[in-house]
Amino acid sequence: MVKLTIDGRDVEVAEHTTILEAALAAGIRIPTLCYLKNLNEIGSCRVCVVEVEGIDQLVAACNNYVLDGMVVHTNSPSVRIARKVNVEFLLSQHDSECTSCVRSGNCSLQTLSNDLGIAQLPFDKHLAGEHWNLSFPLIRNNDKCIKCMRCIQVCDKVQATGVWDITNRAGHTMVNTVGGKPIEETGCSLCGQCITHCPVGALRERDDTEQVFDALGDPERICLVQIAPAVRTA
Ligand code: FES
- Whether 56 is in a domain gets the answer yes
Q: Is residue 24 part of a domain?
A: yes
Confidence of residue 209 (pLDDT cuts 50, 70, 90): low
Rounded to the nearest angstrom, the distance between the alpha carbon of 154 and the centre of ligand 1 is: 16
> Do 73 and 106 share a structural domain?
no
Range of the domain at 65: 2-88
CATH number for 121: 3.30.70.20
Ligand 1 near 108 CB (within 6 A): no
CA–centroid distance, 20 to ligand 1, in Å, is: 9
pLDDT in tens, 152-204: 999 999 999 999 999 888 778 889 999 999 999 999 999 999 999 999 999 99
Q: Does residue 128 sit in the same domain as residue 173?
A: yes
Does residue 234 lie within any of the structural domains?
no
Shared domain for 196 and 179, answered yes or no, is yes
Kindly state whether residues 56 and 81 are assigned to the same domain. yes
Radius of gyration in angstroms for the set of CA atoms belonging to the chain, rounded to a whole number = 20
pLDDT for 207 beyond 90? no
- Are 140 and 211 part of one and the same domain? yes
Rounded alpha-carbon distances, angstroms, from residue 231 to 45, 103, 131, 196, 227: 23, 7, 21, 8, 11
b/e 44-71 (16+ beta carbons within 10 angstroms → b) = bbbbbbbbbeeeeebbbbbbbebeeebe
**Is residue 229 domain-resident?**
no
The answer to whether 72 and 58 have CB atoms below 8 angstroms apart is no
Pick from 36, 47, 108 the residue to mutate for probing ligand 1's pocket: most ligand atoms within 8 Å of its CB: 47
215 has pLDDT over 70: no
Domain's final residue, options 47, 66, 88: 88
- Answer yes or no: are the C-beta atoms of 234 and 199 closer than 8 Å: yes
Residue nearest to atom 3 of ligand 1 (CA): 32
Is 75 a member of any domain? yes
CA of 186 to the centre of ligand 1 (A): 29
**Distance (Å, rounded) from C-alpha 84 to C-alpha 87?**
5
Q: Compute CA 199 distance to the chain's CA centroid, rounded to the nearest angstrom.
A: 5
**Is 86's pLDDT higher than 50?**
yes
| Interface predicted TM-score (ipTM) over 0.85 | yes
Residue 192, ligand 1, Cβ within 6 A: no
Q: How many helices (H) does the chain have, and how many strands (E)?
A: 7, 9
Looking at the predicted structure, is the pLDDT value of residue 219 above 90?
no
State the average pLDDT over residues 82-92: 96
My answer on whether 160 and 211 are in the same domain is: yes
Q: Are 10 and 25 in contact (CB under 8 A)?
A: no
